[in-house]
Chain A
């Protein structure tokens, strides 16, 4: 097996996450200072105690300087990285490896995105100079191909498919309404969701994640050092990343009902963590619900539902806050918002709260109280048939 994993070799001893949303009064600098210092405070250390930083942002800064300048970091290694919407998870993954290798004792992973300064609708990206032949199609449009493809493959009518999508958005808004850091903190009726103006294909406004500003950070140490910082750290069980060959959009055999990169990275993560039945072994999962059909397909790709059955599980409430496996208990990208570089670490932040019994009582998942000790984060960047996928598993106990 190509990936050997670093199960239980590193631990998270502090985390911080800013409020996500239209943070008109805060820039990227303000948000990274906030999230990093909150994480340091929660670990009980100062910035001079950190040996190295991994800084993820899609396009809200360049180089390590975008972190070292606002934080006034004194001549330490700062790596800026980007892996599309999986950027935050990628910062975390690399920081974990650096600590596990013994190169550093204390590392910080931080992600940030400032999207609301552009003045445009939706996510706006810059690309290298090109020949002008790539279809200028938006992200929601690319993901919207999934909905009719899934419906056709499993015999759902357009109305039934829309109902499933609406149920997912409704659930995530329900959860976000219990999250004081979320961009959208109110429940939304199914009727409002279903009737929202169309953005692309079957996707209405409420089927899309929030365009958002925010930052999140984590402090990582070796497991044997963790008790110096706190008695209840989280242990890293698995870190898996898969970048696919990107052939889906040019390969007639790709049917837009699965993300192979997710299947592969999940298999890898489960192997690393020793998980054989994720639906029963996980207390909760944070998944990349950039658009509602994405979350639907992820339930199958991550092994939470059988192929072709996720839609009925969704309608049955299996993934609700009080369901069999709570998915996106913090509201997900849909309701918490999606500041690209921060999202992977924000997902981890919910695991941090939930597994350590620190989530607000009205969204604490019952499975944790019942003894489940594992949580999963899934983060992807790209689109159907051409993406990078991250799956991480953390636990509240070693071994």
Chain B
């Protein structure tokens, strides 16, 4: 018997108040706010952030526990690339071994749901990391724009083992499939089109009831015994009506995060599941229902290992991430970030295309922020650098160097990871001249705890309040996209919450 052995979610920093849309476009506007991926995020970078909360970089948690990863899948409706696999970038950022197979399962919300079902189904035999990430965009004034949200989630499933126990085990799964025109998008289009909402309600209603009752039968569970019910779907009314009518106790119906985050498409079911796992108790029954091109239901039973896992992780819960979002994003910024408002470019050349061969040579640096550490014996005459003492020179270099800056030794370098190492803003500048998709560019000299320094862009930061001495942590971002469509992925620093 296997199940979920790790989970983590990522809700981006920015929030758009729905009232800001109405202020700009007129109309009544709806209440609440939605999460917004920043200008330097895409579904791949958010997927990395979610996966890092489960594994760390360098495959940390997996490697440390002696666990073998059998695969990684990545689901989204808006992949950063097509034809080229996006999961390889996540694989690289996590520093996973090259024998781990990866795949993209993209184009629709249901791809993500089925990817998770299949991972759970295989969990007694295979350890899989299932990442789902989405950025929801609609045309200005649309329901998708106001009610969508951006988020990513990663679920680690498998048989478990020493130090990596099963946290929740699947006890039933069921699906109903149908072909009908509810919502659609031509590949490459910015926004989806939808049929009349009442038609969707008409079709989905019976589907979700059928899938739910079969799953409950299979699990030998009565609706009244469900402790947490998660229902997700683009049709909020379908979800809420079903939740009211299905017999599950009202207090067991989980918050759908519609008012605080919005519907996050491919990531939404995982996000709500993570939200439930953040607070569920051993023995609890969790039912997750997805209403997208059919209906899919999974029933999970929480094991006794969950509370210990949560306290060992000690990271921000979904609730905390939702609460720590930065409100007040201007609607014009949101439109510009989504490519719906083209602003006058700076009088600077577009950034150069990252070249494939140097990017491959520096893959551990570019994708996983791995530098080097000098292991030459001490006793030389340091001429710089910050040796950490002990029996080796220890000077840390970003990126990796052949010759040590501190002791000048050659041939004593070993890889040293920095992505999970916090640092401090040592020097800071607001650069009004440099190219940035969201000027001004905020740049800092970051000094890592324990040694090592590099110049990074800062992100998720207020240029007016950021200051030298601020604590920062590293985040995987998309610096820019060239006119021929190459995404430049690298790391930035952001204030440590």
Q: Is the CB of B384 within 8 A of A137?
A: no
Report if A122 contacts B (CB, 8 A): yes
**Residues of B contacting A127 in the complex (Cβ-Cβ under 8 angstroms):** 352
**CB proximity to B under 8 Å, residues A191-229:** 197-201
Given contacts A130-B354, A131-B354, A245-B405, contact A251 B384 (CB under 8 A): yes
Q: Is the CB of A249 within 8 A of B359?
A: no
Q: Is the CB of A250 within 8 A of B397?
A: yes
Report if B190 contacts A (CB, 8 A): no
Question: How many residues of B are in contact with the other chain, CB < 8 A?
Answer: 51
CB-CB contacts of A232-269 with B at 8 A, as 1s and 0s? Answer: 00000000000001010111111010000000000000
Report if A136 contacts B (CB, 8 A): yes
CB-CB contacts of A54-66 with B at 8 A, as 1s and 0s? Answer: 0000000000000
Chain B residue at smallest Cβ distance from A260: B384
Given contacts A249-B445, A251-B384, contact A135 B455 (CB under 8 A): yes
Q: Is the CB of B427 within 8 A of A250?
A: no
Report if B490 contacts A (CB, 8 A): yes
CB-CB contacts of A134-151 with B at 8 A, as 1s and 0s? Answer: 011110110011001100
**Residues of A contacting B398 in the complex (Cβ-Cβ under 8 angstroms):** 250
A-B interface pairs (CB < 8 A), number:
135
Select which of B358, B386, B456, B489 is within 8 A of A252 by beta carbon: B386
**Residues of A contacting B443 in the complex (Cβ-Cβ under 8 angstroms):** 135, 137, 141
**CB proximity to A under 8 Å, residues B439-497:** 441, 443, 445, 447, 451-457, 468, 479-480, 488-490
Q: Is the CB of B348 within 8 A of A124?
A: yes
**Residues of B contacting A122 in the complex (Cβ-Cβ under 8 angstroms):** 348, 433
Which among A124, A129, A136, A253 has the greatest number of chain B C-beta atoms within 10 A? A136
Q: Is the CB of B453 within 8 A of A249?
A: yes
**Residues of A contacting B405 in the complex (Cβ-Cβ under 8 angstroms):** 245, 247, 250-251
Select which of A120, A130, A132, A251 is within 8 A of B479 by beta carbon: A132
Which among B346, B353, B426, B453 has the greatest number of chain A C-beta atoms within 10 A? B453
Chain A residue at smallest Cβ distance from B356: A129
Q: Is the CB of B359 within 8 A of A144?
A: no
**Residues of A contacting B455 in the complex (Cβ-Cβ under 8 angstroms):** 135, 137, 249
**Residues of A contacting B436 in the complex (Cβ-Cβ under 8 angstroms):** 136
Chain A residue at smallest Cβ distance from B454: A250
Q: Is the CB of B445 within 8 A of A131?
A: no
Question: How many residues of A are in contact with the other chain, CB < 8 A?
Answer: 36
Chain B residue at smallest Cβ distance from A384: B427
Report if B399 contacts A (CB, 8 A): yes
Task: Report how far A118 CA is from B348 CA in the complex, Å.
Answer: 9
Q: Is the CB of B433 within 8 A of A132?
A: no
**Residues of A contacting B434 in the complex (Cβ-Cβ under 8 angstroms):** 136-138, 141, 200
- B321 vs chain A, min Cβ distance (A): 27
Report if B164 contacts A (CB, 8 A): no
Select which of B349, B399, B457 is within 8 A of A124 by beta carbon: B349
Report if B80 contacts A (CB, 8 A): no
Report if B385 contacts A (CB, 8 A): yes
Which among B347, B405, B427 has the greatest number of chain A C-beta atoms within 10 A? B427
CB-CB contacts of A100-133 with B at 8 A, as 1s and 0s? Answer: 0000000000000000001111101001011111
**Residues of B contacting A201 in the complex (Cβ-Cβ under 8 angstroms):** 428-431
Task: Report how far A250 CA is from B436 CA in the complex, Å.
Answer: 23
Stretch at the interface among B68-76, B244-252, B360-368: B360-368
B binding-site residues for A, Cβ under 8 Å: 346-349, 351-355, 357-359, 361-362, 365-366, 384-386, 397-399, 405, 426-436, 441, 443, 445, 447, 451-457, 468, 479-480, 488-490
18 contacts between A and B (CB under 8 A): A131-B358, A131-B359, A132-B489, A135-B457, A136-B351, A136-B436, A141-B429, A141-B434, A197-B432, A245-B384, A245-B405, A250-B397, A251-B385, A252-B453, A253-B386, A254-B384, A254-B453, A256-B427
Beyond A132-B355, A136-B457, A201-B430, 4 additional contacts (C-beta under 8 Å) are A121-B347, A148-B428, A247-B405, A254-B384
